[in-house]
Chain A
Amino acid sequence: MSKLRSVIRHEYLTIVKQPSFWIIMIAIPLIIAAVGAISYFGNKSSSDRIEEIAKDLKNVSIIDKSGLINKDVVAAGGLTLSEPQKTDEIREQVRTGKKEALVVYPETLKAEGTYQIYLSSDDLTKMSAVSSLGDSILKTSLFLPLGSKEIITLAQNGATSDVTIYKDGAETAGFNEYIAPGLFVILFYIIFAFSVGYMLTSVSEEKENRSMEMVLTYVEPRTLIVGKLLGVSLVTLTQVAFFAILAIIAFAVLRQVGGGIQLPFGIDFAKIVFDPLAIFFGAAFLIVGFLMFAGFMTATAAAAPSSKEANSFSAVFYIGAFVPFYFIMLIVTNPGNPVVSFLTFFPLTSPVVTLIRNAVGNMGTLESFAALAVMTLFMFVSIWVAVRAFKLGALEFSQTIKLSNLFKR
């Protein structure tokens, strides 16, 4: 037991004491925040500039041949409608640079839904501004007969729907039911992206730095593998805790600064449902799936002679974890499909598929238990293979061990 504890501590500290571990941990949220900020401010400044340019677009002519444009709307923008027969003349002025732009709404607008814009330069911002102006004049003119400002806004923006879903005669929480179990899908990918690879690196490095022979003199391969798995699991918990703390801080700051933030898809914290069974299966699929992949990674690292080759072999497991997204619509909408059933029980796709199906609630309790049992079986198989490959391959520094040797005495 004390050796196991030593291995766990060693694995944990070896990873978390590396500056690169913390650099990556801190860099990822910073990069996400920076990209978000750049995108937000970039879009904002770009739309501000378009509005600014649109305001200054006084040297623009508007011609209406469709009869759909309201002259008051045009006048509100500081412009006037030009005579339709002057189209060629004004177009020539645009071509020679005397006019900035010309917008022509043709007789066929209603039938074909197309109008023309002529520009005196290839300035993209000006192009966006004139398009925005043309679009705005058309929409406002069309909505104007509706009457009040509220009705026009409703017609332009639409309304949100408040959906009530009944299942087996009882009202459900709809999308809010998916959130808590859905978090396990996100968690799985965070863990998969960060931690599963640590097992590969840990074993590969031990082989490459030739410390394995001394370690195996004093520690059973099983103890070493389990110690590594638990050490890496602790690293994962550290990462999850770190990101959770960051998320809480970000949420608190945004609430303080922004006076309340709008969550996507109309998510309301107060309405999130915590179904104990869905949470149980989410956690179980996550843990068992993680351990299964970690076992396969360990076996790969132990069997391959170097980390380079181990990394190449491990690609198959990464592909397995992402394949379900090619079938996402099928998984969500048609759980009875044989392909979905296969992906649910196939070891490499099983963790992600079961987590998704558990999140959207299209997996019965019996099927969940069956999938969990199969996954658990493969988890033990993967750990057994890892220990076996470790015994055979840990001291093999020049060649990959044969698969058939794994099953020999």
Chain B
Amino acid sequence: MKKPIVTVKDFSLTIGDKEIVKELNFDIMPGEVFAFLGSNGSGKTSTVRTLLGIYEATSGSLLVNGKRVTPKNASNVGYLPEERGLYTRSKVLDVMVYFGELKGMTREAAKDFSLKFLERVELADKANLKLKKLSGGQQQKIQLGVAIMGDPKLLILDEPTKGLDPVNRKLLLDIVDELQKKGTAVIYITHLMEEVERLAHRLLILKDGKARAYGTVDEVKKEFKSKSIEDIFVQIYKEKSTDLSTGVAHV
């Protein structure tokens, strides 16, 4: 039996006086696309940052391959954050190689991968241009390249298709498909439910830091007696919410 690559157990997070996440539990299997859903401010990004060791959990555990992620062992994790951005004053190839090195690759391997990736996404001629000379979509492709460098076992994509045209969106989803088939687990954060329906094996809907739906796509649909994930999402967010810090229900 396969072991989960991600195990989140009784995870709670409080930053300052604000309770961001409370008692969250889920796991993700290798080769699985896991849709991590929720409205803005629901705690998704904070959960991901804690999983990556950027934030410290208030309680509970978040493990990747049975270990807490630290910069020392994060090389098998690829991350495309929601807050997009790279060093715009540096050259494309320099930036990719730098991140490759930070992920533990040798300079040569990082350069080799970068050139192949740029060829694949039709940006080979931009390798020696400064990033600021590239369009927003082109920069996003570079950032995806950085995320998938080093053959990650876990790939976290936070709204990866935001701002992409249909052609580049398809290219990105194809790359995700390929990685998933190779056994990479993908945490896929999005507000586009058709992408969830197309890609996800399982999903979790987070609201006010609490899991409100969790399971395979079919299980969740069955539980909510609905044929669409979008309807389920809307239904959850129309319900009365609970203020985690006070425990008082409000609309």
> In the complex, what distance in Å separates the CA atom of A219 from the CA atom of B54?
10
Q: A213-B49, A395-B54, A405-B16 are in contact. Are A223 and B85 (CB under 8 A)?
A: no
CB neighbors of B among A90-132 (8 A): none
A213 touches B75 (CB 8 A): no
Residue of chain A at shortest CB distance from B94: A13
Name, among A17, A209, A215, A405, the residue most crowded by chain B CB atoms within 10 Å (CB to CB).
A209
Please report the total number of A residues contacting B with Cβ < 8 Å: 26
A-B pairs under 8 A by CB, number: 71
Interface segment among A2-10, A68-76, A150-158, A287-295: the answer is A2-10
A214 touches B99 (CB 8 A): yes
> In the complex, what distance in Å separates the CA atom of A213 from the CA atom of B48?
11
Pick from B49, B71, B75, B146: contact of A220, CB under 8 Å: B71
> In the complex, what distance in Å separates the CA atom of A214 from the CA atom of B53?
12
> In the complex, what distance in Å separates the CA atom of A17 from the CA atom of B102?
20
Is B98 interfacial (CB 8 A cutoff)?
A: yes
| CB-defined contacts of B244 to chain A, threshold 8 Å | none
CB neighbors of A among B84-119 (8 A): 84-90, 94, 98-99, 101-104
Pick from A10, A14, A213: contact of B83, CB under 8 Å: A213
Is B77 interfacial (CB 8 A cutoff)?
A: yes
> In the complex, what distance in Å separates the CA atom of A36 from the CA atom of B218?
81
> In the complex, what distance in Å separates the CA atom of A91 from the CA atom of B85?
80
A195-233 to B contact mask, C-beta < 8 Å, 1/0: 000000000011001110111111110010000000000
Query: SS class of chain B's interface: helix, strand, loop or mixed?
Result: loop
| CB-defined contacts of A205 to chain B, threshold 8 Å | 87, 89
B101 touches A2 (CB 8 A): yes
Is B4 interfacial (CB 8 A cutoff)?
A: no
Pick from B87, B94, B147: contact of A211, CB under 8 Å: B87
CB neighbors of A among B30-83 (8 A): 49, 52-54, 70-72, 74-75, 77, 79, 81, 83
B75 touches A209 (CB 8 A): no
Residue of chain A at shortest CB distance from B107: A6
Q: A205-B89, A214-B143 are in contact. List 10 more A-B contacts (CB 8 A).
A: A14-B89, A14-B90, A17-B90, A206-B87, A209-B88, A213-B79, A216-B54, A217-B71, A218-B71, A223-B71
Which B residues are within 8 Å of any A CB, using their own CB? 16, 49, 52-54, 70-72, 74-75, 77, 79, 81, 83-90, 94, 98-99, 101-104, 143, 146-147
What are 24 A-B contacts with C-beta separation under 8 Å?
A2-B104, A3-B71, A3-B104, A6-B98, A13-B94, A14-B89, A205-B89, A209-B88, A210-B83, A211-B86, A211-B87, A213-B79, A214-B81, A214-B143, A214-B146, A215-B102, A216-B54, A217-B52, A217-B74, A217-B79, A218-B103, A218-B104, A219-B102, A395-B54
